[in-house]
Amino acid sequence: MASSGLVCETDAWKDLKAHVEDIKKTHLRELMSDTKRCRSMMVEFDGLLLDYSRQCATVDTFNKLNKLAEEAHLKDKINLMFSGERINITENRSVLHVALRAPRGSVINSDGKNVVPDVWQVLDKIKDFSDRVRSGAWVGATGKPLTNVIAIGIGGSFLGPLFVHTALQTGYLDAKDISPYPEAAELASGRKLHLTAFKPIYKPEDSQRVSGKTSRLSNTYFPFLPVISYFPFIAVFLCKSLAIVTAAACFLSHLFVCFYGGGLGVYAVGQFVNCLANVDPIDVARNITGLNPETTLAVVVSKTFTTAETMLNARTIREWISAALGPEAVAKHMVAVSTNLTLVEKFGIDPNNAFAFWDWVGGRYSVCSAVGVLPLSLQYGFAVVEKFLQGASSIDQHFHSAPFEKNLPVLLGLLSVWNVSFLGYPARAILPYSQALEKLAPHIQQACPDDPVSMESNGKGVSIDGVPLPYEAGEIDFGEPGTNGQHSFYQLIHQGRVIPCDFIGVVKSQQPVYLKETGNNPSNIEPRKLAYTGELVSNHDELMSNFFAQPDALAYGKTPEQLLKENVPSNLITHKTFSGNRPSLSLLLPSLNAYNIGQLLAIYEHRVAVEGFVWGINSFDQWGVELGKSLATQVRKQLHASRKNAEPIEGFNFSTATLLTRYLEHMHREQGRSKGGLHGFAKVVSINRTEKRSG
Ligand code: F6P
C-alpha cells in the first residue's frame, strides 16, 4: 500500500510511541527533583516566563519531539504560512493573520502583493473614525454623541473581541503606576461596548458618573457602599460633639468612596457586559433594554455578511434604529466590518462606513483585523488597541525566528501533541488566575461547534490530504479563571481524569490590593500585615498563592503514607489520596495590559497552528460546522411552510417530526387562545430523511 504520508508513519512518531512506556514508569515527583531538568524547562521571552517542568516529559522526550517536528517539516510549514502560501488548501487561501499586526512598513506578501499597506490603510481609517466618534465629532441622527456600541457578530466575529474587551475593561487601579500609556479602562470612560452574553444587574445610567467611574461588587451595582462613609458621622452625631467637622470629613470620604469604589471593585464605566451574538431573541432584548438608539452605534461584524444569526440580528437592530429615528438614521448609526463589501452596501450601510478585511484572515483568527480593532478602538481608543497589536506582533516575530527549544508557541504545541497523541489525554484546561482573562477559555475553546480557535481548527478527522487519521488529533479545551474553577471542576482534575492544565498567572494585577497595607517592612521577607483586617497577604497574593500551589498539588499528589503520618482515619485514606503525576504548565505574565493581552492571544493562536502542522491537518478550514447549518435551513423552510400554509411536516425522521409537531402545536394553541382560533394543523408524516433522500 502506498504511503499516506501521515506523520504516524515517521520514525520519530514510532520512537515517541515507544518512549511512552519509559515516561509512564517515572512519577512527576521524581522528575521535579531534578533541578537541572527543571531549569532547562523554563523559557523567557519579552517579559513572559514559561515553566513546563511539570509536564510528564524528560529532556529526552523533547529531543524526540524536536525530531518529530523535523520530520513533520514544522519549520517549513511555519515559513510557508508567513510567506503567504495558500496553506489552507481546501479553501485555497493564505493564512496571514500575522499581517494584521505587522509593523507599518513591513512586507508580507499574498499572491505576490504586499498586504501590509492595505492593513494599515484600514487601521488608519479605524483610528480616524473611532477618534471622531469618541470625540463627538461624529454624532447620531439627532445630533447626540454615540457613546454606546453594539457589536453584532458570532463565532470568530464575536469571541475574540469579547476576550480582549473583557481583559481590558477593568484597567489598573493606579494608572500612574503602570505607564507608559494611559490604561484602557480610563480611556473607555463614559462609553459602553456591548459584546458579551449577559446583562448587568445595575442600571446603565448608574455608571455615568461625573468621574467616569463606578463602584461594583461582582458585576452588581452596590449603591449602599458610599453610605458606609457616614457611619463615623452618625456615631459622632449621636455623641453630640464635633458633628460639623466630622460631617465635612465624612462627606469628603463619601465622595472618595463614590468615585474610587472605596477600594472595592473599581471599574471604569463602559464595561458593563451585554451581547448580540445569539440568534435567540432574548439576546436582542437584553441588548436593547435600557439603550437609547439616539446614542447607539451598531457595528455589524461578519466576514461573509451571510451568517444567518448575524444578519437577522443586524436586521433587527436596523429596524430598532429606523423605528425610533427614521430609516435615514441607519447611515449614522450602523457601520460594518466584512470582507464582502457588496453585501454590506446591499444591506443599506454606506460603503464609506465599511471596514474591510480579507479572505486570508480566518474568522477565528480575525480579532486583530477590523473585527476586533474597530469595536475595541471605539471603546478604548486606537492607541490602546495598537499596543495590543504590538504585543501580538512581538510573538509573531518570536514564533517565526526563535529556535524551537526557546520558541514558546512551538514548545506549547509540541507538548499538546505529546499529551494528546502519545499520553492519550484528550482534554486541556485553560486556567487563568485573573478574572480579566475569564473569556480566554471561551475564545480558545468556543465549545459549540461554532468557531473554536483550537477546537474548530484542530477538531479534524482527516489529514490535510483527506486521509482518515489513525491517531487522535485536536483537544477538548475548557477552562475557568482560578480560583472559581477550584470550586467547581478541580475535583476531577485532582482525583478523577488526567487533564493537562495551563496555569496562567500575572505578576502585577490590574487591581493589586483593596485592603491597604500598614506594614512598614521594606525587606519584604516576613508576611506583611494589612490594615485593620489582619490579612497576611494582599488580595492578589492570595489569588497567586493558589496559582503557585495548584500545579504542585497536581504533580506531587499525596500518598497514603503521608496521610497515615497525619493520623487520617483508615477509612478515609483512599478518599484523601492524590495520585499526583498530573501534568501542567505555568505561564507567568509581567502584567495584564493591552500589550500582554496581545502576546497571550498570539501564543495560543500559534500553538494551535503548531499542533495542526505536526498532526498534518488543515487547522484553517471548518467544514465540520456546515452540516448542522444546512439541516437548519431545511427546518426553517418547514417551519415557514407549516405556519404560513399549514403544510404537514415532511421529510424528517420520527424523532424530529415528533418534536417539530409538539413545537408547532404548542405555538398554535397559544395563538389559538389569544385569537380564539384553530390549532393542530401539523400532520406528522414520518419519513426517514435518508430513505427519502436516497429514494
Ligand atoms: O460557523 C463558523 C463560522 O463560519 C466561523 O468560522 C466564523 O467566525 C463564524 O461562523 C461567523 O462567520 P461570519 O464572520 O462570516 O459571520
Q: What is the DSSP string of 403-444?
A: -GGG-HHHHHHHHHHIIIIIS---EEEEEES-GGGTTHHHHH
Q: Give residue 151's pLDDT.
A: 94
pLDDT tens, position by position, 287-315: 888 889 999 999 999 999 999 999 999 99
Share of the chain above pLDDT 90, in %: 64
Give the helix/strand (H/E) hosting 639.
Answer: helix 626-645
Cα distance between residue 453 and residue 473, in whole Å: 14
3-class DSSP state of 691: helix
Between 246 and 406, residue with greater pLDDT: 406
Q: Which residue has the least CA distance to atom 3 on ligand 1?
A: 451
pLDDT tens, position by position, 436-489: 999 999 998 764 334 446 666 777 788 888 888 888 888 899 999 999 999 989
Q: Residue type for 451, please? A: D
pLDDT tens, position by position, 399-417: 999 999 999 999 999 999 9
Q: Give residue 273's pLDDT.
A: 37
Q: Give residue 287's pLDDT.
A: 84
Using alpha carbons, select from 298, 297, 315 the residue that is nearest to residue 306: 315
Confidence band for 674, pLDDT divided at 50, 70 and 90:
low
156 close to ligand 1 (CB < 6 Angstrom): yes
Active site (annotated) includes residue 487 = yes
What average pLDDT does range 181-188 have in this prediction?
A: 61
What average pLDDT does range 271-279 have in this prediction?
A: 64
Between 148 and 268, residue with greater pLDDT: 148
What average pLDDT does range 248-260 have in this prediction?
A: 39
Q: Is the pLDDT of residue 50 over 90?
A: yes
Give the helix/strand (H/E) hosting 354.
Answer: strand 354-356
Catalytic residue among 14, 629, 675, 683: 629
Residues 6+ apart with CB under 8 A from 186: 171, 175, 212, 268
Ligand 1 closest atom vs CA 629: 1
Cα distance between residue 630 and residue 623, in whole Å: 12
CA dihedral 96, 99, 100, 105 (to 10 degrees): -160
Q: Residue type for 352, please? A: N
Q: Give residue 513's pLDDT.
A: 66
Confidence band for 230, pLDDT divided at 50, 70 and 90:
very low
**Hey, which of 450, 455, 608, 633 would you mutate to test ligand 1's pocket, going by the most ligand atoms within 8 Å of its Cβ?**
450
Query: What b/e readout covers 378-396, taking b as 16+ CB neighbours within 10 angstroms?
Result: bbbbbebbbbbbebbbbbb
3-class DSSP state of 296: strand
Q: Give residue 473's pLDDT.
A: 82
Q: Please state, as a whole number, how many other Cβ atoms lie within 10 Å of the Cβ of residue 476.
A: 17
Active site (annotated) includes residue 27 = no
CA dihedral 253, 255, 260, 265 (to 10 degrees): 80
Q: Which residue has the least CA distance to atom 1 on ligand 1?
A: 450
DSSP-assigned letter for residue 226: G
Residues 6+ apart with CB under 8 A from 25: none
Q: Give residue 468's pLDDT.
A: 85
Cα distance between residue 229 and residue 258, in whole Å: 10
Share of the chain above pLDDT 70, in %: 76
Between 170 and 672, residue with greater pLDDT: 170
443 close to ligand 1 (CB < 6 Angstrom): no
Q: Which residue has the least CA distance to atom 9 on ligand 1?
A: 155
pTM as predicted:
0.81
3-class DSSP state of 587: strand
Q: Which residue has the least CA distance to atom 5 on ligand 1?
A: 451
Q: Is the pLDDT of residue 228 over 50?
A: no
Active site (annotated) includes residue 629 = yes
Q: Average per-residue pLDDT in the chain? A: 82
155 close to ligand 1 (CB < 6 Angstrom): yes
Catalytic residue among 85, 183, 309, 456: 456
Confidence band for 189, pLDDT divided at 50, 70 and 90:
low
Helix ranges restricted to H, 326-467: 330-333, 341-347, 370-380, 382-401, 408-417, 440-445, 455-458
Q: Give residue 221's pLDDT.
A: 29
**Hey, which of 304, 309, 454 would you mutate to test ligand 1's pocket, going by the most ligand atoms within 8 Å of its Cβ?**
304
Between 681 and 611, residue with greater pLDDT: 611
Q: Give residue 458's pLDDT.
A: 78
451 close to ligand 1 (CB < 6 Angstrom): yes
pLDDT tens, position by position, 547-574: 999 999 999 999 999 999 999 999 999 9
Q: Which residue has the least CA distance to atom 16 on ligand 1?
A: 302
Catalytic residue among 24, 144, 203, 487: 487
Q: Is the pLDDT of residue 378 over 60?
A: yes
Cα distance between residue 78 and residue 400, in whole Å: 7
Size (the chain), residues? 695
**Hey, which of 158, 303, 458 would you mutate to test ligand 1's pocket, going by the most ligand atoms within 8 Å of its Cβ?**
303
**Strand pairing partners for 214?**
267
625 close to ligand 1 (CB < 6 Angstrom): yes
Confidence band for 211, pLDDT divided at 50, 70 and 90:
very low
Ligand 1 closest atom vs CA 371: 14
- 594-615 and 74-82 helices, crossing angle to 10°: 130
Residues 6+ apart with CB under 8 A from 275: 194, 195, 196, 197, 198, 283, 286, 287
Q: Is the pLDDT of residue 637 over 70?
A: yes
Query: Within 13 Å of residue 553, how many CA atoms lie on the same side as its CB?
Result: 16
Q: Give residue 217's pLDDT.
A: 24
Confidence band for 172, pLDDT divided at 50, 70 and 90:
low
Q: Please state, as a whole number, how many other Cβ atoms lie within 10 Å of the Cβ of residue 14.
A: 11
Residue pair 575/491 in contact by the 8 Å Cβ criterion:
no
CA dihedral 149, 153, 159, 161 (to 10 degrees): -40
**Strand pairing partners for 139?**
145
Give the helix/strand (H/E) hosting 633.
Answer: helix 626-645
Q: Is the pLDDT of residue 251 over 80?
A: no
pLDDT tens, position by position, 479-525: 999 999 999 899 999 999 999 999 999 999 988 666 665 555 444 44
Q: Is the pLDDT of residue 205 over 70?
A: no
Q: Give residue 504's pLDDT.
A: 98
303 close to ligand 1 (CB < 6 Angstrom): yes
Long-range contact list for 259-263, CB < 8 A, 24+ apart? Answer: 259/209, 259/211, 259/213, 260/213, 261/213, 261/214, 261/215, 261/216, 261/225, 262/215, 262/225, 262/226, 262/228, 262/229, 263/514, 263/515, 263/516
**Strand pairing partners for 525?**
none
- Phi, psi of 429, deg, nearest 5: -100, 130
Cα of 91 from ligand 1 centre, angstroms: 14
Q: Is the pLDDT of residue 246 over 70?
A: no
